[in-house]
Structure 1
Amino acid sequence: MLAQARETMPGPGALRGGMAVELKWDGYRIILFTSSRPGGPVLLQTRKGGLIQDRFPDLVAAASQLPPGLVLDGELMVLTGDGVMDFGALQRRAASGAPRTVQALVKAFPAYVVVFDVLQVAGQPVLAERYERRRSLLESLFADHALTPPWTLCPSTTDLAVAREWLETWTRAPGIEGVVCKGLHQTYRPGARGWLKVRARQTTEALIGAITGSLGRPHLLVLGRFDAEGRLRHVGKTTGLSPAAARQLADQLTAAAPGTHPWEGARFSAGWGSSSVLDTTLIVPDRVAEVSVDTARDRGVWRHPVRLVRLRADVPVQDVQPY
C-alpha cells in the first residue's frame, strides 16, 4: 500500500474513522516473508519486486526470531559505526553481489528493519483487517516473541499533538523524513495510495552553479555550496521553474567563461538513480537561491528535487552555509 504526498499535516477528519500517524523513514521499502515451515527460506522483496535477501544475510539469520508463515511490511535501513542512518551505505549493501563484499558490508553497516504493518500471520492473510486490528497483531507479535534489533516496531500515535511534535523535531535526526497518516479503519490495499505522507521541509540557501534551458528562460537550477577547502560541491537541483521565477532569474545569471568554472566537465544526473544526464549551462556561482528542501540527503546532496523560493540578492556568497 502506498501514500500520497501532502504539504501539511491533515486534520483529524482527513481519514474516515479516525487516524493513526507513524514516522516516515528514509530507507528501502521491503516486504519480508518467512517460510510456512520452521527453518525454511526467508525472502526480502523490494517495492519494485526484486529479491535481495542474498545481500542481507544478517537479516536472514535474525529471522530465526520470527514465527513461520509471516509477512511483514517495513523500511530497511543501515547504520554507520556511530549509529547514524546512512542511505548511501544502504545503497551499497543493496547493490553488493560478491560474497566477500557482502560479508564486509554486513560487518561495517549492519541492517535493521523498522516494521509498520503485518500482512499475514501463521499463514493466514490479514489484509482485509482494519489498520487498528493489524497494528494490534503487530504489537502482539513483538511482545509475544520478545523481538529485538534488527527488528524494530515503528512508533504510532493517534494523538495529533504528538504527531506534530514528531514532524517538527524528530525529523531533525538523520533517517527520519516526516510522518505517514493512516486511517484506523483502512484495510491494506496493495498498490492503492490510501495513506497520506507529509515530509518535513525547511528553507535554506545554496549557490546557483548551473542551469538547464537558456539564460533567457532557465528551466531548473543545479545548486552548490563551497566546502572548507573552497571547492564548489554539488548539493542538488530544483524542480522546474515557474514562468515567473524564470523571468526573475533571466537577467541575473552570467554564463561562465570556458575553463573558469569548477564544474567544467561535470555531469549531473536527471534523477536519483537515473542514467540520463542533464544538458546544462555553467553559471558564475555568485547568485544565492533560497530553496525549500526536505531532510533526505546522501553525502551532502538532497536526494529529492528542491523548490526555488526566491533569489536572494541580499545574501552574500560567503554567508551561504558551507557544504
Structure 2
Amino acid sequence: MVLRPPVEPMLAQARDTVPAPGRLPGELRYQPKFDGYRAIVFTPWPAPGPLLVQSRRGSLMQSRFPEFVAAATHLPDGLVLDGELVVWADGHISFEALQQRAVLGGRAAARLAQEMPAHFIAFDLLQIDGKELLHVSYGERRAQLERLFTDRELSAPWTLCPETTDPSTAKEWLASWTQVPGVEGLVIRGSGQRYLTGARALYKVRRRDTTEAAVGAITGTMRQPQTLVLGRLDETGALRPVGRSTPLRPDAARDVAERLTPAGPGHPWEGVRFTASWRSRTPLDAALVEPELVAEIMVDTALERGSWRHPVRFVRLRQDMAVTDVPPFGAGAASASS
C-alpha cells in the first residue's frame, strides 16, 4: 500500500512525569516536544508530482510554505515523513509567527519564507521508496530515518529530531531545553512500537511551573464554580486575561466558592467576550467576580502574547497575597511565591 494524504498521525497521551521503562513496547526513546504544527510530508510516487504537506487534520498547506517545495529536490521520491513544522523568528521558535505563516499564500508566503523561515523537524518515517513502514518497529524506522539524513546530507529546512535512550539525559532536556521558547517538553516512544494511525499510543510530558494569577471570572455558578478565568495586571494597572483553569476538584471548588464575591459595577472585564479555548469561536459563559482572590497555578511553556494557550491547573488559593503581588502580565511562569 502506498500512503497518500490524508494520513491520521499517531498521537500522544499526556503524562505528568517521565514514564518508567516497560510502559511501552521495547526500549524507551525520548525526543524534545517542539511547539509547532504537526505535519506529514509526502514526496510523489510513482509518477512525478509536487511535494505535499499535510496538517494534523488532513488539509494540505504546502502553498503556505514554499521553502519546503523548493527543497523537495533533496528528498527521494516515495517518501513520507512525520514531524513538527516550526517557524524561526527573532532568534527563537515562534508559534505566533507560525500562525501568521499558516494563513498566507502567494507573494506573502514567498516573502515570509525569507523573513521567517520554516523548518520541518522529522521524528518518524512512514514510507521510503514507495514502501509503507507502518508495520515496522519504531527502532527500525528511526534507523532508516537517520540513514536518510546521512546519505542525503539533508539540511535546513529538513531537520532530524534529536533523540536519546538515556532517562537522565531526557530529564535534563525537560529541565533545561524547555527554558528555550518553542520547546514544551518530551515525547516518549517505544522502540518496538508499530505506527498506529490516529491512536494515542505515545506519551508526552510537558514542563510545568508554578506561578500566580488573579481570579477575574468563573464558569459554573458562584456556589459551584467549575473553572477559573485568570488575569494579571499590565503596566497600566489594567487586568488582562491570561488563561483558564482545568475543571476544579470538588474540594477546591468548595474552597473557592466560600471566598468569591460577585462583581460589582466597573469590573475591568465588563463587555469582554471569552471563548471556550485558544483560537476557538465558541463563546464561554463566564460570570465576573471581584478580582481579589489570587490563585496559585501550574502552567506549561506555551505562552502567546501574555496568555497561556493550554488550560492551567489550579493548585490552591494564596490568601497571603494581594492581586498587586502577582507577577505582571507577560511575565510567563515567573512566580511571586516565597
Structure 1 counterpart of 2:37, which letter?
Y
In 1, the alpha carbon distance for the partners of 2:98 and 2:298 equals 25
Measured after TM superposition, the shift of residue 78 of structure 1 is: 0.7
Query: How far apart in 2 are the matches of 1:171 and 1:38?
Result: 42
Partner of 1:305: 311
| Alpha-carbon shift at residue 265 of structure 1 (Å) | 0.9
Matching residue within 199, 208, 213 for 1:192: 199
Q: 2:64 aligns with which of 55, 62, 69?
A: 55
Q: Match for residue 260 of structure 2? A: 253
- SS of 1:252's partner is coil
Q: Which residue of 1 aligns with 2:274?
A: 268
Partner of 2:327: 321
Question: Shift in Å at residue 299 of structure 1?
Answer: 1.1
> Quick one: distance in 2 between partners of 1:250 and 1:105?
49
What is the match of residue 216 of structure 2?
A: 209
> What is the match of residue 186 of structure 2?
179
Do the aligned partners of 2:46 and 2:130 also contact (CA within 8 Å) in 1? no
Question: 8 Å contact 1:38–1:67 — kept in the other structure?
Answer: no
Selected match of 1:284 from 280, 290, 300? 290
TM-score, scaled relative to structure 2: 0.91
Alpha-carbon distance in structure 2 between the residues aligned to 1:65 and 1:232: 51
SS at match of 1:191: coil
Q: How does 1:224-235 map to 2 (within 5 A)?
A: 224-235=231-242
The aligned counterpart of 1:170 is 177
Deviation at residue 38 of structure 1 after TM alignment: 8.8
* Other-structure match for 2:127: 120
After TM superposition, the runs of 4+ consecutive aligned structure 1 residues lying more than 4 A away are none
Is 1:101 the counterpart of 2:108? The answer is yes
1:149 corresponds in structure 2 to 156
SS of 1:283's equivalent in the other structure is: strand
Partner of residue 70, structure 1: 79
* CA distance in 2 between partners of 1:35 and 1:75 (Å): 20
Shift of residue 123 of structure 1?
1.2
1:57 CA displacement: 1.0
- Quick one: which amino acid aligns to residue 274 of structure 1? S
Structure 1 residue 39, shift from structure 2 partner = 6.4
Residue segments in structure 2 that go unaligned for 5+ positions in a row: 1-9, 330-338
- Contact kept? 1:39, 1:64, Cα under 8 Å: no
Paired residues in the alignment total: 320
Match of 1:8 in 2: 17
Q: CA deviation digits over 1:168-188, x for unaligned, max 9?
A: 221121111111111111111
Kept after mapping to 1: 8 A contact 2:83/2:122: yes
Which whole-Å CA distance do the structure 2 matches of 1:311 and 1:66 have between them?
A: 54
Matches within 5 A, 1:13-92: 13-36=22-45, 40-80=49-89, 82-92=90-100
Deviations 1:242-284 (A, max 9, x none): 22111111131222222x1221111111012321111112222
Cα shift at 1:14: 1.6
Opposite residue 150 of structure 1, the aligned amino acid is P
Distance of 2:133 and 2:250 partners within structure 1:
49
Q: Does the residue aligned with 1:284 lie in a helix, a strand or coil?
A: strand
Maintained 8 Å contact 1:3/1:196: yes
2:217–2:288: 8 Å Cα contact kept in structure 1? Answer: yes
**What is the CA distance between 1:318 and its match in structure 2?**
2.1
Contact 1:38–1:68 (8 Å) recurs in 2? no
Structure 1 counterpart SS, 2:175: helix
Taking the aligned partners of 1:125 and 1:191, their CA distance within structure 2 comes to 16
Tell me if the contact between 1:34 and 1:70 (Cα under 8 Å) persists in the aligned partners.
Answer: yes
Residues 70-128 of structure 1 show CA distances to partners (whole Å, capped at 9, x for unaligned) of: 11000011121x2211112212221224x233234323321111110111111111222
1:38/1:174 CA distance change after superposition, 3 Å: farther
| CA root-mean-square deviation | 1.5
Q: Provide the rounded CA distance (Å) in 1 between the counterparts of 2:91 and 2:151.
A: 27
CA 1:39–1:299 in structure 2 vs 1: closer, same or farther (change >3 Å)?
Answer: farther
